[in-house]
Amino acid sequence: MAQSTIQDWTESQVLLKYDEAREVKYRVYRDDGIMFQEICEVDDTPIHTLELPVGMKLDKGSYEVLLRYVLLDVVAA
């Protein structure tokens, strides 16, 4: 099965702790029936790819919330 785009690359400024923000971009896609949220720096340097639970299809605002949690949790670790 081919990869299909659910949400194309979207740039976002993510507010982190203590008035700190980070400019990133992300996309949501499906590959072999599994959904992923791929997060990169704006210069295309990969940050993290998150596998989304089966059946989870969200609106853009919800993907932004996931994006913030990934940056706070995974990247800060």
pLDDT digits (tens, 9 = 90+) for 1-18: 578 898 899 999 888 777
pTM for this entry: 0.80
> What's the pLDDT at 38?
94
Query: DSSP strand E in the chain: where?
Result: 4-15, 21-31, 34-41, 46-52
Burial environment of residue 28 by CB neighbours within 10 A (0 to 12, 13 to 18, 19 or more): buried
Highest mean pLDDT among 18-22, 30-34, 61-65: 30-34
Looking at residue 53, the DSSP 8-state letter turns out to be P
